[in-house]
Chain A
Amino acid sequence: MMRQENVLSPTPAKIIKTEKMTEIERLIQLELLNKDFAQSFIYKPGQFIEVSVMGVGEAPISICAARTKPDLLELCVRKVGRVTNAIHNRKEGDILWIRGPYGNSFPMEKMEGNRLLLVGGGLGIAPLRGVLQYALQNREKYGEITVFYGIRCYSMMLFREEFLRLFREGDKQNVKFYLSYEDPEDKECHQLACERSDRCTQGVVTKLFEKTKITPENTYAIICGPPIMYKFVVKELINRNFRPEQIYMTLERRMKCGIGKCGHCIIGDGTSIKYVCKDGPVFTYLDALNTKGMI
């Protein structure tokens, strides 16, 4: 792709929509103002961008939608630090600055002709939504799509309207959408569990493996969630005879520059040093076996 001459220079993007999804997460829709740049700004599911608020700083944020129009992109932003708080405070019409897209991506071409199992926990569903959208846009290229989405409670559910539609009507598109919730007192989620007891359960996301028979034949698993989640999900998949190279995951680290230079996202030992921003953030479980400390 065409690169700007200075890799550290951001390009302006106007906030065209900022929508509260939960108490701490907002959906931000951006429009790239430099239309020439927008033509070369081709992103794939799993990639991320560096988002700046001038005077506050820069933060890596994954793109949470598949590319449809060249100058548009969507981010799901949890307010957790200085930059993300500032992004939350910005209004429609305000300018954010972005660099990217960075990182590798989920190998959507390689996965063609296969079934997909997406396992997302909390905010981890955001990059997986890009995969899901991409697969739905190219529906004939993929087999059955199974989604496991683990949330803490109903009020923390992201993309609620969209996902509830898939939960209820996904089967029409050969999408099986499963939901787990942690809070046993949650009334709305309990209601959903009553509505579709075969698709919704109380507990952590791995409990959903009890709800359906997952087999490794022609299937790729894709995982994203809080760091603690990976080991447990991987264990379930390995128990079901998934091969390590069938399991993809995307990782979080301090990716300050996004281009493998600033050094913060380094992982691995002597033979297996990697920079998550450049060599990842998407890795297979085989990579994780080769790289100590990855998960």
Chain B
Amino acid sequence: MATSLRARPRFRRAHRRDAKPDPTARRPRRFTRRDGAVLAASAIASGSIVWLLYERILPFAGIQGFLVLWFGTFLAMYGLAVRELEGTLIAKDRVAAAAIGGVSLAIIVPLLAILGYTAWRGAVYLRAHFFTETLEFTGPEDPATSGGGLQAIVGTLEQVGIAAMISVPLGVLTAVFLNEVGGRLRRPVRVFVDAMSGVPSIVAGLFIYIILVVRADWGFSGFAGALALTILMLPTVTRTSEVVLRLVPGGLREASLALGAPEWRTAWNVVLPTARLGIITAVILGMARVIGETAPLIVTTLGNTSLNANPFDGPQDALPLRSYLLFIQGVDNQVNRAWLYAFVLIMLVLILFVAARVLGARRVGGRGERRRTREPSLDPADGVVPVSPAS
């Protein structure tokens, strides 16, 4: 067997290359200087060919096409080069690694493009009075720096706050049910929570519009918007808290029960306090999920250019809603103002996101908990699905 393998030239060649310094061991994943040279040479050569093709032979507009074509040609060329030097097996491995690495790092490009573009379009119009004035007396011809966004900031904070006040107790209690109480209903409830997380945001808005705005004859109000946001926030809070509750060591629960505490005492005084940081993370993720929602607000809060601090009466504004309404007017100043609103909104989202990351990176349990061999992390990266995109 060994001789037949050694008789294959590709294996011998690959073997001999690394065998020089130490004849007994070959490190299978070592990336030598020569490998780097092959990689660089393939990149440069494919870039040149594509440039020639792209600029001279097949006229082509736009840089993404060039990059995509370059990446494809590079993979082909790199594969051929490695195949010539190392054999088919190694070539497949290298090409797969290059493709997977390239594609996943490329995701960062649109993210930076979006964040950068928003900052570039919006940040220049930000003035201090944005946080103290409203759009009440600002017309479409006024420059984007005039007026402010106080009415939208107040509306967004109130709507998201009310949504959190309803969905957090309900969501955490549902998570407690899934994790601590259980029973026959556990599986169906989990499926319902999953199904609810897929409810399109416009549908949640329509539902609240029917029951509150039309049937209850309440009219458009910030509260209606908050209820629509609650529907969207609830599944996020539930699933994130459930994952966190599952990380609470079973020994803590058993110790509490063995000491004679009833179940509700165990849940309230042992499980929830242990997981408090994670639950705060869940709440923040839920808020980040809904703070940028626009579609449900179109049909529930309607929008209002002047300040309405009462969420229970009359149309209210919100940052994403106002941004949308300004944007679709299409007038230059209004579009710029829409970007200003979007910039403030994305800053809020970023603050929430970073807060969730910082809190989530801490460990389960706080002071006084015994060290465990491997402490479970609350980091959403370790098992909690991220904030879903607004749908």
Partners in one complex: no
